[in-house]
Structure 1
Amino acid sequence: MLNKLLGRVVAVEVDEVRPMLLSALYFFLVMAGYFVVRPLRDDMGLAGGVRNLPWLYTGTLVGMLLVHPIFAAMVSKLTRRRFISLSYHIVAGLMVLFFALLSVLDEAQLIWVDRAFWVYTSVFNLFVVSIFWSVMADVFKPAQGARIFGFIAVGGTAGAMLGSAVTASLAEAIPTRFLLFASIALIEAAVLVALALLRHTTENANESEDDRPTGDEVIGGSVMAGISAVFSSPYLLGIVGYMLLYTITSTFLYFEQAEIMSEIFEDRGARTAFFAKLDLAVNTLT
């Protein structure tokens, strides 16, 4: 029954249904976890003043440069199963740390916690989504991806809508730092689903002698592998150019939005709720 229903909306084979649904759920949880905290990040960015936002972007760049070698070292030494678990556990653990700092520090100190959280969330978003799509590239062959990645992406959009709705409904009712626990729960649930997906893929690979990577293999690679791959591929260089132009445009618009929001809202809970409602509207429309 479920296979027939799915077959009407996506060209999926019977043996692809389970991994496709697990992947959609995995993406749903990852995006829900991020969009719970994204409005908190936007509010914290304004807490230190709009004029300091460029420095937060600089901090994000520095954070990416610091994290990338660690990320690459983990990729080169750990199995997929271990790498995914450890990466998401680190993300969740840092949220616990931020909750503790937000709970005990005074107002003067909190401004630096807010800035650190803004940078952390920006880096977290880049890495957790990259990890997800790297798993998808391992689990599905290119022909499969062309047919079912659209369905999986819908799971991510639905998760973004849920995360935004949670924050929009609770940001004015409770201290916003408690929303971190909702994000932690979603991220940890994503780990369980990712492991179930890898376990299913490994079992199928063993039964069918498929040559696709399994969760028990070391990923491999090096710090420079991705850079060399980009510069050797016109296709990847085109993607880099597209992302550069997109980021420049979106950053300009983000600054304009921040300027407007700083003038309209004085209450931080109301401002966080508005950012969440804005995210919900955008994700609903797209």
Structure 2
Amino acid sequence: MELRHLRYFVAVAEECHFGRAAERLHMAQPPLSQQIKQLEAELGVQLLERTSRRVELTPAGQRYLERARDVLARVEAANDEAALVAGGMVGRVSIGFTGSATYELLPAISRALQARLPGVEADLRGELLTPRQVSGMLAHELDLGVLRPPVGDPAIEVHPLRRERLVVVLPETHRLAGHGAVDLAALADDPFVTYPSHQRSVVHDAVLAACQDAGFTPHGTEVAETSTLVSFVAAGLGVALVPESVQHLRITGATYRPLVAASADVDLAVAHRAGDASPVLARVLDVVRAVVADRGRKPGVPAPGSSL
């Protein structure tokens, strides 16, 4: 039995007429009649009662019509779903976000995915440092990473998104909190709250380089999460340098200021396993790029001098 037999039978059963059914199927009537006879012979059941004027369903034919319609509907749904999957419109993707991107880009990307790819299930994981994202992609726990390059593993393909300046986070009570911009050298004696060292955080290395260029080496507390870092600053435990997108994280007691003549910056990129040709991955990559580009056109970051 083939699906065409089911389609032929449904057409005849619905039209109750071989001639009209043949026209509907764009075929001649004799071959259609022969196909229905073959179907009945294969089943060993009479499905249709034929008279000179019309065709009627037997009780067995009535039940068979219900099942045939259900089978054809399921096949059509499977075909549609396969086309959606092949086009990247249906599937699942897991995305990791570095700390600063967690508070700015994760919500925007989540909204964009829901609007543009409603058939894609997105597992979004925030506050993941670059090494953790790389290991997650290699272990197939993550499909995409929004992270801080460089990434040294050739098994990971990296696409730059944008470059961000570093800004300083100060307690509201800090002596420089009222300044429009802060000279980094003026913070040489302050304790710093930083991201983890020992090549676990790209931002930590950028902060260290910026401070050394200003004539000092920062000392203080290391924390892994951006929210914890800014909370420690708000509590008066030190100062910090962070990518400017962290200003989207609003914590009472912390204030952000630009650096005087700052040249320190960090890159943001999206990464995935090299050679991954998943259609849904390509669609999601397009959405991520579009969201970042749109954020670049719209001033969504609070003013550097704002108190949060």
For normalisation by structure 1, the TM-score amounts to 0.25
Which structure is richer in relative contact order (CA contacts within 8 A, separation 6 or more)? Answer: 1
| Larger proportion of helix | 1
**Structure exhibiting the larger radius of gyration computed from Cα positions:** 2
From the two aligned structures, give the one with the greater strand fraction.
Answer: 2
